[in-house]
Amino acid sequence: MTVDLYHMEVSAACRTVRLVAKTIGVNCNLKEVDLFAGEQMKPEFIKLNPQHTIPTLVDGDFALGESRAISTYLINKYAPGHRLYPDCPQKRALIDRYLYFDIGTLYKSIGDYFYPKLMFNKELEPDREKKLKDALGFLEAFLNGQDFLLGKEPTVADLSISCSLSMLEITSYGFPAFPIAEAYYNRLKQLPHWEECNAKGIEGFKQFAAGKLQ
C-alpha cells in the first residue's frame, strides 16, 4: 500500500510519520513542501489541510494533518493490533497519554525554547529552558527504569518522542543532567529504520542551525 505524504526532510514530525510507516510496511510517496518558500500556502495545499501544516497525509480521498494522528491512523488502517499501538485499551490509553505529552509538553518545550532563536534570532529565555528541563524530568519519571515507555517494546509514542529528542542533538544542547533520557534516546536510535528515516533530516537541520545558537 502507498500513501502520499507531504513533508519536509528536516521536520521532526515528518520524520516520525516516515519512521512509523516504514516500521509497519506502508510506502510513502514523498512530496516535499518547502516551508521557507511558502509552498504550504498554495491553494491546492490549503484545500488538503486548511491549517497548512506538515506533515499532511493523503490516502485516497482522505487527507489528514498532525504527525501523531497520522501515525495512529496508519497503524489502525494498515497494521491493526501492531505492537506499536496494540489493541489493549489500557496500553493504548497510556500510549495516547505519552503522545499527548509529546505534543503538549516535550516537543512544545523544545520548540518554545529553541525556535525563537533559530528562526528570529531572539535571545534564549531561561524560563523556557526550565520548562524543557521539567519535560525531560517527566520523561525520565515515565520511563521508570524501563527500556521504553511501556516496557521492553517500543510503541508509536516512543518513535514520536525519539524524533522530538533529535532536536536536542541538532542544537547540540544534549541532555544536561538527564542520563536516563539520553540513554533512552540512544536506544531509540538503534531501532530498525531509525537512521534511514532521520539521518539526512537531522544533518540538514544541523547545517541550518549552525551558528544560530551562539
Tell me, what DSSP letter sits at residue 106? I
Closest-CA residue to 21 (of 199, 192, 211): 192
What is the C-alpha radius of gyration for the chain, rounded to an integer number of angstroms? 17
pTM of the model: 0.97
**Tens-digit pLDDT profile for residues 147-202:** 999 999 999 999 999 999 999 999 999 999 999 999 999 999 999 999 999 999 99
Is residue 214 pLDDT above 80, yes or no? no
Alpha-carbon gap, residue 189 to 28, rounded angstroms: 21
- Just list the catalytic residues: 11
Predicted local confidence at residue 46, as pLDDT: 98
| Structural domains of the chain ordered from first start | 3-79 (3.40.30.10), 89-209 (1.20.1050.10)
Is residue 211 pLDDT above 90, yes or no? no
**Tens-digit pLDDT profile for residues 63-117:** 999 999 999 999 999 999 999 999 999 999 999 999 999 999 999 999 999 999 9
DSSP strand E in 81-149: where? none
Q: Which residues contact 210 (CB under 8 A, 6 or more apart)?
A: none
